[in-house]
Amino acid sequence: MNLQTTYLGLPLAHPVIASASPLSATFDGIRRLEDAGAAAIVTASIYEEEVAADTAAREAFGTAGADSNPEVTSYRPPHTGSPGALAAHLELIRRAAASISVPLIASLNGVTREGWTGIATELQAAGAAAIELDLFHLPFDPNESSAEVERRLADTAHAVCAAVRIPVAVKLFPYLTAPAHLAAALEAAGARGLVLFNRYIEPDIDLEGLNFRPTLDLSTPAEIRLPLMWIAMLAGRTPLCLAGGRGVAGPDEVVKYLLAGADVVQTASALLRHGAEYIGRLVEGLTEWIEARGASSAAEIRGRMRANRFAEPESLFRAHYRQMLLLGHPAQPGPEHPT
Amino acid sequence: MARKRTVDGNTAVADIAYRVNDVCAIFPITPSSPMAELADQWSAEGRTNLWGTIPVVQEMQAEGGAAGAVHGSLQGGALTTTFTASQGLLLMIPNMFKIAGELTPCVFHVAARSVATQALSIFGDHSDVMAARATGFALLGAASVQEAQDLALVAQAAALEARVPFIHFMDGFRTSHELNTVEPLPNATLRAMVDDDLVRAHRRRALSPERPVVRGTAHNPDTFFQAREAANPYYLATPGIVQRAMDRLAALTGRRYGLFRYNGHPDAERVAVVIGSAADTLRATAAHLNERGERVGVVQVLLFRPWSAADFLAALPASACRIAVLDRTKEPGAPAEPLCLDVARTLGEAVARGDRRQLPLIVGGRYGLSSKEFDPAMAKAVFDHLATQNPHSGFTVGIVDDVCHTSLPVNTAFDIEPPGIHRALFFGLGADGTVGANKNSVKILAEDPDRHAQGYFVYDSHKSGAETISHLRFGNAPIGAPYLLKSADFIGVHKFDFLEKRDVLAAAGPGAVVLINAPYDAGSVWDRLPRPAQRQIVERNLRLFVIDASGLAQCLGLGPRVNTILQACFFAISGVLPREEGIRRIRRSIEETYGDKGKAILDMNFAAVEAAVAQLHEVKVPTAVSSTQELQVFVPKDAPEQLKRIAALQFAGRGDEIPVSAMPPDGSFFGATTQYEKRNVAFAVPVWKPDLCIQCGQCSVVCPHSVIRAKAYDAALLESAPPGFPSAPVNARGYPDKRFTLQIAVEDCTGCGICIDHCPARNPLEPGVKAINFAERLPLVEAGRRQLAFFESLPEHRREQVDLHLSRGLQFIQPLFEFSGACAGCGETPYLKLLSQLFGDRLQIANATGCSSIYSGNLPSLPWRAGPDGRGPAWSNSLFEDNAEFGLGMRLAIDQQTVIARELMRMLAERIGPKLAGEILTAPQRTDSEIALQRGRVDALRRVLGDPADAPARDLLAVAEYLLRRSLWIVGGDGWAYDIGAGGLDHVLAQDRDVNILVLDTEVYSNTGGQASKATPLAATAKFAAAGKRTPRKDLAPQAIAYGYVYVAQVALGGGAEQTIQALRDAEAYDGPSLVLAYSHCIAHGFDLRDGIKQQHRAVASGYWPLFRYDPRLRKSDMNPFRLDSTRPRLPLEEFAYRELRYRVLAQTRPDEARALLGQAQAAVDERYRLYEDMAARDGTRFHPYWQDPAVTQEKIAKESIR
């Protein structure tokens, strides 16, 4: 069985990669993911705000009480060579990249232009094989049009792509007016891949304390549908690599993403639920599904269900909806259209 | 120009000591701690010594331990050193006799400091080194930062050759903490000075099974004496060896030293003899006087022991006929202080033997105790004194002694500061970064090859938010002026309130530049200035600049730190550098300082510079003074005399003016001074919302500074309330006519925010609004002052009116510990406040040295106070190491006098009345009501006895107070309880005495800056545990529980105030030894202390700090005495630990080790909890039976009556 694929120009043994999660936040965790058979590993995100907050806290620790009474010059113990969270993260990338044989993709969640490009450059220097830009953006400004939102995202991608040599993937949030247009813009900006989608932390309201309570539950298989739809829509129409990255509960979802046209499938929830070793089960399940259908490679199934293979791709999903309501019959793919 | 750098004395000395030693065994003590900390830091960084190895730095549990480890290490052949001061040096003395007795070369580097007597003092004098002069150590004293560096090396080189160990000392603070420009010593110089053959010889003398010897033998009268004399040749040779080492250094560096240094007129008639930094002041003064035709000179003693009479005589001009020997120490009862005696003896013998023609008149005097200023005016006073008709010995200079009239008159106008030196004075607030910024400015300016700089920093008595005064000098020649500025070209007033408290512009030179940080603009600031400030500005023709740096800092996100803004202003207007060059330098310095700290911080500081320059405005100074506002008067006219004569002057920054007659000769002070300080340090303070408040008392119980108080009172009293006085109906049933007020002392609040964070009452419809909320302080001050005054006039609650088990009840009890100078948000002080509320009127405290002794007893800020009935906590501090024993001694005295009182009661029972006598003798006194009754009976007894003439009744009256049970508490931090005082603590727990021990456990030495103690937890970093503590913290509780009869509790206010209150009450009620371990968050933990109570809650919830009480009384009824009060761990340790930088930095620097250590720490937490859970689940028979067996108690009573 040949499961090989290429993602962001990186040859991978199979399409299942570990996405950014607490599992890839430590050196041991990254090693464990490699041992479990991940084809590539996306590190836990470095958040620019976190770097800034850590710096501020360290600065406060260094200055709190410093020189404020004659017995104390500072309360901070000496910790030479520790410039903070970013340095620690870079050191993690350096060590991990040097010790694993699969590609290490560094996830980055910036805020400022300098943050995006500066940290990206440092991630590259630390040995990351690629960068995944987690373009997490809340378009709450009523004066900012959807076109401006998209332009800003593309500008960010452009700035980062111009700053680094290694390939850059962009992880998008799902609520966009024109994802296909944005995909083209990101491609023009120099991105090599799209990861669909990241998940908002959708905080709940604590009725007792009248606070927003951050919640982030592990994803469920139902969540696959939105990214699945967009991968199916984009596959074959964009030269960008596509990564499906939500709702993977088991091998079925891996297969679905590949059928829709994804080059790779990212998973965190399944691994957090079952442990890193579950990657083996996902790959095994994918192999079984392909084998059961008499095929011998992942390439043979990739994109079989992408939209532009259907007769009326643009109306496919609307039709699909109508049929479900009226007939209960799912649409069937027609003969493959040239892309 | 040789390479130079600007460092303080501690850095200069540590740099040498580190490079020429293998081992440093230390214990932190001010002002020497930075030397040890630097050594530890360098060791952690992997810096090597002269021979290419990384010295090991071992923190010990006490100075006694450090000296023992030094002794052992030296016996093991390692080059070994230590750094210490004051009591620390005294604790080392027994080992020092041994080290010297065994001719073991080493150098102890001492930042000389006062030894505690009538009071502790962290400041500098020679009482410690003088107390060690009999040990056999050579004593080599330095006068300046440069000398301290150079002589550190001379001492090491000479010690190795002479085999005599050295104390190398500098003046604590004056030299150890003075920044000055020095020429450093490169390794090549060190190599040339330290003879490797001598090092090898030292190593060969080590104890070794390869060449076994027996050392440390015991002698009998037949041999000890001779053996003691056998070392004489080594001491005889030492002065010559030291001089040769000095000569070698001179050949290498061009800086020439002698055992004694004479400067002055070659035919001087009057000569001063001195050790240490005062030599520079005397020299400069002598030069000034000689230029004006006088004939005076100065002998600086560098090598005090072994004393070389010949060298002294050679240094002293033959013309000297009047000599003043200045000692920076006091030896009560001695004919003169030590140096004076040596000088007198030397000259006496020289004259007697005919080596000198005439015996000069030799007088001795004292100066500079506890860093008391010694300036040229005082130096001149000494020379002038020698010129009087009858100079007297035993004089003092620098104080006003109106009791024994020892003090010399000083002409304070005398000033000899040379021209060409730019002088700048800054008044800052501890937390605002002024001192740090000034240290930085000194370094920036001293970068220029031809500029020298000096910086010296003076603080007031608060742990946090202290008023700081920075004294900076810049010039083109080395600056040897070890005294404070009297006149400045620039004065920075970094907090506007200072202008209202003291005459800060008094030191402004004519035409000086004044920068004021004020919340007013250039147009309105003049009218806000008090009259003395306006007068100085007008009369001295000062240029006045103003900037709202505090407001800007808040806008820029810098919080209280105004350092960058005001530093930029200094560079812009001081004229030390051209304005643009100054700004360029400060930007470069910001880049260097913050370059690796992220762009946000860098930008914030750049923005601060830009904003500073843009918003700095010169004020057009009117030609006349217009203000009628005089300086703040701190204490009311009817205040106690002691307060008016001492604290009032200290608050106004005029403590040096206090005469001897004002001071209590035994060191006893009335407390309650902090109420007058009105420090106004907070930017924002809590404001109460009566409609939301549930009157639970939680804010009041957690407030570290006792600024939140509650009273319930008759509604009718509100008629005379000031406008806007907030109040609410009492929300308990049965008090329809009572009102409730939660009063915040606006001017005393530090703005820590703990109360707000902890307040459980929220507005149900307005997120983030609670029953108390922050608001800017300044607009609240006036109304707050009036409201507080009215609140204080409302009647206090009687103890029997409230439930003393609950926060809700306790909030109504007046704290007898208030407004301490502890850090904002301190985790310790709430426990002390609780003690004062629970037992205040019969509370006696033995307090170990540490944070708690400083914020409790550092003059003039005394937070312990009496209640309305005049009764209140009696507090004393003995030492750091002996506190448990000190407290036990108090208990013995109380118990013994109770026995005497009871005996007299029995003797006088008929006269007193058998009923009253019987009741007094048999009264139980465990509950509050029982104690209240007994207090009434004792008062009745006094009334019955009246004013008797007979001895027994008079004796009984003298001890009658002991018939009321005294609440004796032994209080200290973990440094005391776990380390230096652990032996005493253990011994006191092992006695059957009613002592209560409260350990305020911050898990580090908080007072000296966060050094590791044995309470420091596994996986946390601290000073001396920079790579993370590798061993678990000592679990003190089980050790105490193991005794079986010790009441032991572990508490954390954040885990539940009621459990804490109950434990303190239990411990106090228990008639035996009690130990309460109280979790105390600390600034050294590395998190925002506003979150302190929540973090305590996490400590408990994670199982890191389980709450429990072990009450031996439960054994009376065969029950299990161990009660686990907190739930099973329900939070991973990580959730608690990684909120604190002391843990988190390790996860960043050494992630794998951090994870492994945290794993171990989690395992330790789990296992410890299991152990406690097991203990809690046992049946009662598995514990020690109740120890106060009735039969034994009966026997005790019988014995008592026989006596």
Residues B1139-1159 pLDDT 10s:
999 999 888 888 889 999 999
pLDDT digit string, tens, across residues B1157-1180: 999 999 999 999 999 999 999 999
Reduced to 3 states, what is the DSSP secondary structure of residue B967? Answer: strand
> Taking Cα atoms as reference points, which of B679, B618, B670, B605 lies closest to residue B640?
B670
Reduced to 3 states, what is the DSSP secondary structure of residue B139? Answer: strand
Q: What is the pTM of this model?
A: 0.93
Nearest CA in chain A to B559: A60
Distance from CA of A233 to the nearest CA of B (A): 41
**Lookup result for tokens 């605002």:** B432
* Mean pLDDT value across residues A65-82: 80
Residues of A in contact with B1025 (CB under 8 A): 77
Is the pLDDT reported for residue A69 higher than 80?
yes
Tell if the CB–CB gap between B1083 and A75 is shorter than 8 Å. Answer: yes
pLDDT at B688: 98
Q: Residue B30 catalytic?
A: yes
Report d(CA B528, CA B515) in Å as an integer.
Answer: 15
The first and second tokens of residue B688, run together, are 């109460």
Using a CB–CB cutoff of 8 Å, tell me whether A121 touches chain B.
no
Helix (H) or strand (E) holding A119: helix A113-126
pLDDT at B1203: 46
* Mean pLDDT value across residues A80-89: 76
pLDDT at B603: 86
If one counts every other C-beta atom within 10 angstroms of the C-beta of residue A17, the result is: 26
Nearest CA in chain A to B467: A68
| Poorest-pLDDT segment among A47-56, A89-98, B612-621 | A47-56
Q: How far is the CA of B328 from the CAs of A18, B270, B273, B889, in angstroms?
A: 71, 20, 11, 33
Distance from CA of B875 to the nearest CA of A (A): 22
Tell if the CB–CB gap between B122 and A71 is shorter than 8 Å. Answer: yes
* Mean pLDDT value across residues B945-974: 97
Q: Is residue B229 classed exposed, middle or buried when 0-12, 13-18 and 19+ CB atoms within 10 A define those classes? A: exposed
Facing residue for A57 by CB, picked from B33, B1083, B1141: B1141
Helix (H) or strand (E) holding A108: strand A104-109
Residues 193-252 (A) with a CB less than 8 A from some CB of B? 209-211
Of the segments A137-141, B497-501, B733-737, which one has the largest average pLDDT value? B497-501
pLDDT at B1191: 59
pLDDT digit string, tens, across residues B151-190: 999 999 999 999 999 999 999 999 999 999 999 999 999 9
Distance from CA of A75 to the nearest CA of B (A): 5
| pLDDT classification of A318: cutoffs 50, 70, 90 | low
The first and second tokens of residue B168, run together, are 């190398």
Tell if the CB–CB gap between A69 and B122 is shorter than 8 Å. Answer: no
pLDDT at B1196: 57
pLDDT at A338: 43
Distance from CA of B445 to the nearest CA of A (A): 20
| pLDDT classification of A174: cutoffs 50, 70, 90 | confident
Tell if the CB–CB gap between B45 and A78 is shorter than 8 Å. Answer: yes
> Taking Cα atoms as reference points, which of B995, B994, B1012 lies closest to residue B1003?
B1012
Facing residue for B1022 by CB, picked from A59, A77, A87: A77
Residue with more model confidence, B1201 or B92: B92
Among B1149, B1150, B1152, most A C-beta atoms within 10 A, so best to mutate, is B1149
Tell if the CB–CB gap between B1021 and A75 is shorter than 8 Å. Answer: no
Among B1007, B1148, B1152, B1158, most A C-beta atoms within 10 A, so best to mutate, is B1148
Among B1087, B1145, B1146, B1153, most A C-beta atoms within 10 A, so best to mutate, is B1145
Report d(CA B369, CA B391) in Å as an integer.
Answer: 21
| Widest distance between CA atoms in chain A | 84
Residues of B in contact with A86 (CB under 8 A): 598
Report d(CA B1074, CA B672) in Å as an integer.
Answer: 28
Residues of A in contact with B1021 (CB under 8 A): 77, 79
Facing residue for A69 by CB, picked from B45, B430, B1084: B430
Residues of A in contact with B1142 (CB under 8 A): 77
The first and second tokens of residue B58, run together, are 């071992």
Facing residue for B1148 by CB, picked from A27, A84, A210: A84
Q: What is the mean pLDDT of chain B?
A: 95
If one counts every other C-beta atom within 10 angstroms of the C-beta of residue B387, the result is: 12
Report d(CA B605, CA B593) in Å as an integer.
Answer: 10
pLDDT at A333: 52
Using a CB–CB cutoff of 8 Å, tell me whether A28 touches chain B.
yes
Nearest CA in chain A to B1024: A77
Q: Residue B541 catalytic?
A: no
Q: Which of B11, B19, B113, B473 is catalytic?
A: B113
Helix (H) or strand (E) holding B609: helix B599-615
Residues of B in contact with A79 (CB under 8 A): 44, 1021, 1026, 1145-1146, 1149
| pLDDT classification of A337: cutoffs 50, 70, 90 | very low
Tell if the CB–CB gap between B1149 and A81 is shorter than 8 Å. Answer: yes
pLDDT at A339: 39
Report d(CA A227, CA A216) in Å as an integer.
Answer: 18
Facing residue for A210 by CB, picked from B762, B1008, B1022: B762
Q: Which of B37, B59, B63, B1003 is catalytic?
A: B63
Is the pLDDT reported for residue A77 higher than 70?
yes
pLDDT at B1: 43
Kindly report the backbone phi and psi dihedral angles of residue B1151, in degrees, each rounded to the nearest multiple of 5, phi listed first.
Answer: -60, -40
Chain pair A-B, CB pairs under 8 angstroms: 153
Facing residue for B1083 by CB, picked from A26, A64, A71: A64
| pLDDT classification of B3: cutoffs 50, 70, 90 | confident
Percent of all residues in chain B with a pLDDT value above 70, rounded to a whole number: 98
* Mean pLDDT value across residues A50-57: 84
| pLDDT classification of A147: cutoffs 50, 70, 90 | very high
Is the pLDDT reported for residue B745 higher than 50?
yes
Is the pLDDT reported for residue B43 higher than 60?
yes
Q: Classify the complex by whether its ipTM is higher than 0.85, answering yes or no.
A: yes
Q: Residue B53 catalytic?
A: no
Distance from CA of A207 to the nearest CA of B (A): 9
Nearest CA in chain A to B597: A55
| Poorest-pLDDT segment among A155-159, A259-263, A304-308, B132-136 | A304-308
If one counts every other C-beta atom within 10 angstroms of the C-beta of residue B234, the result is: 16
Q: How far is the CA of B796 from the CAs of B741, B814, B815, B869, in angstroms?
A: 12, 7, 11, 11
The first and second tokens of residue B648, run together, are 């009032």
Is the pLDDT reported for residue A257 higher than 70?
yes
Q: Which of B80, B847, B996, B1007 is catalytic?
A: B1007
The first and second tokens of residue B248, run together, are 């070698």
Is the pLDDT reported for residue B358 higher than 80?
yes
Residues of B in contact with A68 (CB under 8 A): 430-431, 435, 459, 463-466, 468
Distance from CA of B825 to the nearest CA of A (A): 12
Using a CB–CB cutoff of 8 Å, tell me whether A49 touches chain B.
no
pLDDT at B1193: 57
pLDDT at B465: 77
pLDDT digit string, tens, across residues B257-310: 999 999 999 999 999 999 999 999 999 999 999 999 999 999 999 999 999 999
| Poorest-pLDDT segment among A67-71, A101-105, B5-9, B33-37 | A67-71
pLDDT digit string, tens, across residues A212-236: 888 778 888 889 999 999 999 999 9
Nearest CA in chain B to A90: B1148
> Taking Cα atoms as reference points, which of B958, B706, B923 lies closest to residue B813?
B706
Nearest CA in chain A to B1086: A61
Distance from CA of B744 to the nearest CA of A (A): 25
Using a CB–CB cutoff of 8 Å, tell me whether A175 touches chain B.
no
Q: Residue B1150 catalytic?
A: no
Is the pLDDT reported for residue A80 higher than 80?
no
* Mean pLDDT value across residues B100-107: 98
Q: Which of B30, B438, B468, B847 is catalytic?
A: B30
Tell if the CB–CB gap between B1155 and A26 is shorter than 8 Å. Answer: yes
pLDDT at B1200: 54
Using a CB–CB cutoff of 8 Å, tell me whether A69 touches chain B.
yes
> Taking Cα atoms as reference points, which of B1080, B523, B1142 lies closest to residue B850?
B1080
